[in-house]
Amino acid sequence: MNNYSEKSAHANDDWTIDQAWESYSKAEHQVWDTLYARLMQVLPNRAAPEFLNGLEALNLHRGGIPNFEAISDELEALTGWRVVAVPGLVPDEVFFDHLANRRFPAGNFIRKPDQLDYIQEPDVFHDVFGHVPMLTDPVFADYMEAYGKGGLRSLRHASLKNLAALYWYTVEFGLIQTDNGLRIYGAGIVSSPAESKFALEDPSPIRIVCDLVRLMRTDYRIDDFQQTYFVINSYDELFRATVDTDFAPLYADLKGEFDLRPEHVTTSDSVLHLGSQAYAERGGRFADA
């Protein structure tokens, strides 16, 4: 969350810009359609039902990069959230303030055709396809607003790092237990065909039941598949565990640091799958073919 592009001259004080939907080229809409079609090969029976329902509810399959105004009108009617355009990553305080006011800031640019599998900065595909469907779920929508408010508070405690881990391991890379088995709901997973399979099926990563304090102690990978995934039992449980806990004493204990490596397993963990870490040990994304 820390580094961000220079504020563009045309941006508003809250860093929002016009999405300029009319300016997307045919090739850019095509990138969206290609990615969408790829994900549809892997997400049925892997993504959480709330995510798949959200895609339907917002008609995200209608083709091409969505117009933020149009999907915001539909989303607002469901849960009161809107999607606003930003040039890319924005400062933490600006980001949290948007979430706290039920606005999801989404990058308006789309990756190039040679970046289909991996990009560093979140683009409109990651932000809208990955994040926005879950905002149609009333409980998850409330969690995201609460997270924004908690984010503003964490800045006053110099504890952003620990709170950022919570976003990372839930909003971006979360798994959920369902009656039909494990499902993915994290935006970073559902927007990646490869990680959608890896997170659920690969023997490498550790999968443990989500515990708030344990999670906030844990470092994470930003440049490769996760080494550990935290599994929630329900969005409601996640919401209650975070909203009903005063983070101030936790922040004081954690001191803005992580004391667990991404691949660490502790004796008190409730382990669903003890990962082999074979993928990471081979060198992950950087291993030679």
Residues in contact with Co ion by the rule CB under 5 A: 122, 187
Rounded to the nearest 10 degrees, the angle between the axes of helix 235-243 and helix 138-156 is 30
Q: Which of Co ion, ligand PHE, none does residue 260 bind (CB under 5 to 8 Å by kind)?
A: none
| Closest to ligand PHE by CB, 71 or 238 | 238
SS3 at position 11: coil
| Closer residue to Co ion (CB): 154 or 191 | 191
Q: How far is the CB of 18 from ligand PHE (least distance, A)?
A: 31
Q: Which of residues 159-188 bind ligand PHE (CB under 6 A)?
A: 166
Number of residues that bind ligand PHE (CB under 6 A): 10
Q: Is 147 in the site for ligand PHE (CB under 6 A)?
A: yes
Rounded CA-CA distance 83/70 in Å is: 10
Of 105, 150, 174, 275, which lies in the binding site for ligand PHE, with binding defined by CB under 6 A?
Answer: 150
The single-letter DSSP state of residue 272 is E
Of residues 111 and 161, the one with the C-beta less far from ligand PHE: 161
Contact partner, 187, from Co ion, ligand PHE, none, Cβ < 5-8 Å per class: Co ion
Tokens 């382990």 belong to which residue? 271
- Among 53, 101, 242, 277, indicate the residue that binds ligand PHE (CB under 6 A): 242
Pick the piece of the chain touching ligand PHE (CB under 6 A) from 18-26, 212-220, 242-250, 259-267.
242-250
Beta strands in 108-247 (DSSP E): 175-178, 181-184, 206-209, 228-232
Q: Rule CB under 6 A: is residue 193 a binding residue for ligand PHE?
A: no
Residue 151 Cβ, how far from ligand PHE at the closest point, in Å?
A: 7
Helix (H, G, I), strand (E, B) or coil at 257: coil
State yes or no: residue 243 binds ligand PHE (CB under 6 A). Answer: yes
What is the number of alpha carbons within 13 Å of residue 58 lying toward its C-beta? 32
Measuring CA to CA, which residue among 161, 142, 173 is closest to residue 243? 142
DSSP string, 66-115: PPHHHHHHHHHHHHS-EEEEESS---HHHHHHHHHTTEEEEE-----GGG
* Tokens 């809250």 -> residue: 14
Judged by CB, which is closer to Co ion: 83, or 254? 83
Task: Rule CB under 6 A: say whether 152 interacts with ligand PHE.
Answer: no
- The reply on whether position 246 binds ligand PHE by CB under 6 A is yes
Q: Which two tokens stand for residue 69?
A: 């105004």
252 belongs to the binding site for ligand PHE (CB under 6 A) = no
Task: Please report the sign of the dihedral spanned by the C-alpha atoms of residue 128, residue 129, residue 130, residue 134.
Answer: positive
What residues make contact with ligand PHE under the rule CB under 6 A? 146-147, 150, 153, 166, 242-243, 245-247
